[in-house]
A and B are shown apart, each in its own frame.
Chain A
């Protein structure tokens, strides 16, 4: 699948800018003291405007000036990436429960994703997770979930 890099990033930037403008009023309150024109919202708004402007510039470059880079997306590979991101999400949810188990799970799944069959690799990763856990929890006294 082919896609145009500048056009896509332009559209994304434009959308992000608009979303940002919509989110700001409900996420930032009114200042308590005098502000001289620059409030707590000014910089976030400025970034949102910057995104919109940059988005438009990129779209202009792509559509009018034909300055564009066409890239190829290997869908099969990207499905794999999406799959891995799902694993990361699952990990994030499991992390709260137990560092040791969730991280061991992540390590093993990551190895499985690489397609390696060497059992020693799996063992090494599991040992490293255990070592990390002991190092943090017992030596560095970091409270682990």
Chain B
């Protein structure tokens, strides 16, 4: 073991690796930050170039893109209320209000600190506990996935805003949208309307761009959306993160990072689910005076540490079992195979030095991301200084190009434009947009695994209470819903009291 690590370290610490990791982080952040472009696109595009590179730098660069893009997604979520990646959808709930309050830099700093924390914890989990964690992941069958998905869907209750009923309607829309395409259980087509392009289903990123970016732009054009950014002409000296902020959010970040690492390690889940669960948990533990949804700094810390906590952990099932946890991991799988690493149970014994070099590299990537982020954010925050009119036009154009790039398909552009219009109308009657995302992410998981569970049990619903992990999730779901409801009332009362005392 010691020899392997020594060999790994010798493999790792070269100038070449440092350069390529930095390039990876940089590309990742940029691609993550541009609406519509994401880490997967960047990795796919760069894949051919890594053929000609040595194994370690190539894999370091590609994994760095993955990490960077996950953080980058939060930048556009905070600054322009449009998640750059699916995983950043929870970040904007509190991130954008912070920006509105004139604290864009503080929100971005928080996102960076949280991302780096989550990423580090995740990378350490990957480095030290990958085999153990994969043993847990292997026991996850359909009933467990179903319970986990229901657990996730229960978050709708906490992100619905004023009206739970409207939240449910939005959530239903998300679930229904996700059913379009070829059904993964029956092989039948659903809601394809004879259009080949719909066989692939409706892509979540396209819907996200429409619901957030396009709807917002329509609102800005007719001045029904408050004009925020252009008011922030002056750089506010007070607008940065403080040690106090970090101290205050540290418990949230740690908890969220572990939530992220756990969810990430289960194949087929990923950062989006992790970040919503973490957000929900942070909200549940809210202290008096903390107003989630209105620019609470913990509301940025939680989802960001969770979605980066899920990144390196996604590599656990990939490396130990050969199962890619999400789309990006699937592309990374290609990169690993191309470089002769046969992922699976024997990877660590067959290619130890290379694998450990990459894993230790993952830890270092997180640190590099932090340092690069510190400088890049200063540049990005200037987006808020671009004149409103120009910014609107640029964003519309970038979103259209980005939507097309998701899958080289016009359909994604149409979906984006259509849901832009729909979401604009939905705003008029206060339908919350966040549950759409949850429905789209979790609906298919819940449905497919429910049906598969019933096949496993021969139609008996008792399968969900007979399996311990599954039962635990179901109990947890109910407990959390009750606690959240209680907490909500308590918090409201406490906040009222707090406000009175302040007066």
Contacts and interface: CB of A to CB of B under 8 A. Distances in A.
Contact of A81 (B222, B393, B401, B417): B222
B23 to A, nearest CB: 15
A125 B401 contact: no
Interface residues of B, number: 65
A43 B185 CA distance: 13
Nearest to B187: A32
Contacts of A115: 389
A113 to B, nearest CB: 5
Contacts of B218: 81, 84-85
Contacts of B389: 111, 114-116, 118, 121
B45 interface: yes
Nearest to A31: B186
Nearest to B41: A140
Contacts of A31: 186, 188
Contacts of B387: 116, 121
A44 B410 contact: no
Interface residues of A, number: 73
A54 B169 CA distance: 7
Given A35-B451, A77-B223, A69 B430 contact: yes
B393 to A, nearest CB: 4
Interface of A: 5-6, 8-9, 12-13, 20, 23, 27-40, 43-44, 47, 50-51, 54-55, 57-58, 61, 69, 71, 73-74, 77-78, 80-81, 84-85, 88-89, 91-92, 95-96, 99, 103, 106-107, 110-111, 113-116, 118, 121, 124-125, 128-129, 132-133, 136, 140-145
Interface string B154-166: 0000000001011
A141 B163 CA distance: 45
Q: Nearest 8 A-B pairs (CB), nearest first? A: A114-B389, A36-B459, A9-B429, A36-B454, A80-B222, A116-B389, A77-B222, A110-B393
A4 to B, nearest CB: 9
A85 B343 CA distance: 48
B82 interface: no
Contacts, number: 182
B179 interface: yes
B393 A114 contact: yes
8 contacts: A23-B191, A29-B189, A36-B455, A51-B172, A57-B165, A110-B393, A113-B221, A114-B220
B123 to A, nearest CB: 28
Contacts of B243: none
B404 A28 contact: no
Nearest to A133: B401
A50 B222 contact: no
A69 B162 CA distance: 11
B113 to A, nearest CB: 31
Instruction: Give the interface SS of chain B, mostly helix, strand, loop or mixed.
Output: helix
Contacts of A132: 397-398, 401
B410 A145 contact: yes
Given A51-B169, A92-B414, A121-B387, A44 B190 contact: yes
B168 interface: yes
Given A27-B193, A35-B451, A40 B183 contact: yes
B318 interface: no
Contacts of B458: 36
Contacts of A54: 165-166, 168-169, 172
A28 B188 CA distance: 7
B397 A106 contact: yes
B417 A5 contact: no
Interface in B392-425: 392-394, 396-398, 400-401, 404-405, 408, 410, 413-414, 417, 420-421, 424
Contacts of B163: 6, 58
B400 A106 contact: yes
Interface core residue of B45, B429, B459 (most chain A CB under 10 Å): B429
Given A5-B430, A43-B175, A81-B424, A111 B192 contact: no
Interface in B373-405: 387-390, 392-394, 396-398, 400-401, 404-405
A37 B130 CA distance: 39
B431 interface: yes
B217 interface: yes
A118 B424 CA distance: 28
